[in-house]
Amino acid sequence: MKSAALTRIEMAYVDCGSGLPVLLVHGFPLDHTMWAAQIDALSDRARVIAPDLRGFGRTPLGQVDPVHGISMEQYADELAELLDALAIREPIVLVGFSMGGYIAWQFVRKYADRLRALVQCDTRAAADTEEGREGRLKMAQHVAEWGTARVAEMMGPKLLAPHTFETKHEVVQAVRQVVEQTSPAAIAAAQRGMAARPDSTDLLSTIDVPTLVMVGEHDAISTRSEMESIAEAIRGARLAVIPDAGHMAPMENPEKVNEALSVFLDSLGG
């Protein structure tokens, strides 16, 4: 892993391969390792950049507003800063997964000119319901006393399809481990930021880059029907439903996710 000095933090990232830059943005409370299979498969044909967002994996949390946490816009600003630090001026393919997708909407809002194409994977455009927001703020408030093992217990069954949970123990273990290793302060900051994120539904009809929408068929967090609506609202977007997968489609069925990404990258030409 490498690291780049940004304004607030030193951001850790993987950067491998050459050609069209593809930026992979992980979900919550995870890190770049969720993309291991995609980094492997895509770096033969593209320049794959997979950062650890602020507070996750090897990137330190730095100073955080205790009330507001880190907004989706701030994470997006830091991705743009990372591209600057890597002197990447050409438009990129942005791949956002779940919280990475919430961040990607903000990136689209602010940095549309830096985009060649967009992939939104197992994410949502809508803001939280009141109940969802309360749940996030409760976790933010109590995670330090609960400990991250409890967060892993709470989230595990929602992140993975029942079939994955029962049969793919290495995936279950990998997800649990990364959640348990995340700092409670980073979990709290991200939960506060997600709770406050704006609704991005209005943005969808304004997106004018090639877009792929991907969803695990059994995703319990960002459901297939919700992602179908996102695909319908973005002009010309393609939809890929990943079989035998829940929310963590890139880890649960990496072959199908890689295939969908490859076909999409092919369609961009050059």
Residue ranges binding ligand MLT (CB under 6 A): 27-28, 98-99, 194, 221
Nearer Cβ to ligand MLT (4/139): 139
Give the residues across from 213 on adjacent strands: 120, 239
- Shortest Å, Cβ 68 to ligand MLT: 17
Indicate the SS3 state at residue 87.
coil
- Shortest Å, Cβ 118 to ligand MLT: 17
How many degrees, rounded to 5, is the angle at CA 125 between CA 78 and CA 239?
105
Nearer Cβ to ligand MLT (60/132): 132
Nearer Cβ to ligand MLT (82/155): 155
Nearer Cβ to ligand MLT (190/212): 190
DSSP 108-157: HHHHGGGEEEEEEES--SS---HHHHHHHHHHHHHHHHH-HHHHHHHHHH
- Shortest Å, Cβ 190 to ligand MLT: 8
- Shortest Å, Cβ 27 to ligand MLT: 3
Nearer Cβ to ligand MLT (86/221): 221
Amino acid identity, position 162: P
- Shortest Å, Cβ 266 to ligand MLT: 27
Nearer Cβ to ligand MLT (26/256): 26
The contacts of residue 217 (CB under 8 Å, 6+ apart) are 161, 224, 241, 242, 243, 244, 245
- Shortest Å, Cβ 7 to ligand MLT: 24
Indicate the SS3 state at residue 172.
helix
Indicate the SS3 state at residue 262.
helix
User: For residue 29, is the peptide bond before it cis, meaning its omega torsion is within 30 degrees of 0?
Assistant: yes
d(CA 60, CA 126) in angstroms, rounded, equals 29
